[in-house]
Structure 1
Amino acid sequence: MGRFKTLILMAATAFLLASCGGGGMVRRVSEPAAGIQQLTVRADGSWSVDVRINNFSSIPMRFDAISLAMSLGSEQAGTLQGNAGISIGPESADVVTLTHSPTPAARIAMADALAGQRSIGYALKGTVNATPEEGNPREYPIERTSSLSPVPGLPGVMR
């Protein structure tokens, strides 16, 4: 009789373990993040801004409209706007390059930081539109503060 109970207990344990693990991938949609990976000052005074978008979801996401108010140091720099038009795999990141015409005050702040070979803080606040695989589009809030530093040997480039 004791052997029969042990066999039933082992079978029940095996059933429970099998039912826990074989359910497939969990579809988790998490808020993305965005930050500036690189900012390049162009000869005409405009900026080329590489925005890194992080997809923290467990499924692929399609990223479209980006609208991020940017400040540089204590100066408003305008709004980074564009259409990313990219799909990013689960728990991955990719970069979108946006052209930006900064405010005159932000241009001066950037020129001062580059001339002095100093870092400068930045802040982004706005939204990114993304659509989960087989889901509906949604607008995600973005808030990010960080800093950019001059890249040695690359004039006009901050990372």
Structure 2
Amino acid sequence: MGRRITVLVLSLVVALAAACSSGPARRVSEPAASIQELAVQADGSWSISLRLQNYSSVPMRFDAIDLQVTVGGQAAGTLADAPALEIGPESADVVAVRMQPASGARMLLADTLAAGRGVDYALDGTISAAPADRGNARSYPVKRKSALSPAPGLAGVLR
């Protein structure tokens, strides 16, 4: 009888150890991007704080950003960068990217800021990312529409 109990207890311990060894599921989800802040520089260029969101259950390495920016319906240009940034699971981080906007978008944004109004924007393009422990990055499509409002007390800044 004592031997049976020992074998039963040992079997339960082995079964529990096997059940725990698989760990949490690895889920890789499409990342997202949004403009957190847009600041107009003295030379007319834009400094954009781009928020990168990792919805995956594993850390992701963000290798490249290639996004077409539209403000108020005007094509502004391409937001391109190679941040080489690692973002933890289900977290976000911000990367600063400068861009030289098209003249129509620059004028529209100047009018918007002078009037103290907000403006709609859209991002359309790709983000290249990969799990931090793997080498090959994959391109994920990004489509985002949102709006920016003037930041109180900060001239030339929209958030």
Counterpart residue number, 1:67 = 66
Q: Any unmatched runs of 5+ in structure 2?
A: 1-13
Deviation at 1:16, TM superposition (A): 8.9
Counterpart residue number, 1:150 = 150
What amino acid is aligned across from residue 33 of structure 1 in structure 2? A
CA distance in 1, matches of 2:121, 2:18: 49
Counterpart residue number, 1:82 = 81
| Dislocated runs of 4+, deviation >4 Å | 15-22
- Per-residue CA deviation, residues 76-122 of structure 1 (Å, 9 max, x unaligned), is 00010111121000000000100100000000111111011111000
Deviation at 1:134, TM superposition (A): 2.5
Deviation at 1:124, TM superposition (A): 0.3
1:124 aligns with 2:91: no
Q: Any unmatched runs of 5+ in structure 1?
A: 1-14
Partner-residue secondary structure (3-state), 1:52 = strand
Normalised by the size of structure 2, how large is the TM-score?
0.86
CA distance in 2, matches of 1:57, 1:122: 26
CA distance in 2, matches of 1:18, 1:113: 62
Deviation at 1:23, TM superposition (A): 3.0
* Superposition pairs of residues 2-151 of structure 1, within 5 angstroms: 23-135=22-134, 136-151=136-151
What amino acid is aligned across from residue 103 of structure 1 in structure 2? A
What amino acid is aligned across from residue 116 of structure 1 in structure 2? A
What amino acid is aligned across from residue 91 of structure 1 in structure 2? E
Identity %: 53
- The number of equivalent residue pairs is 149
RMSD: 2.0
CA distance in 2, matches of 1:150, 1:67: 25
Normalised by the size of structure 1, how large is the TM-score?
0.86
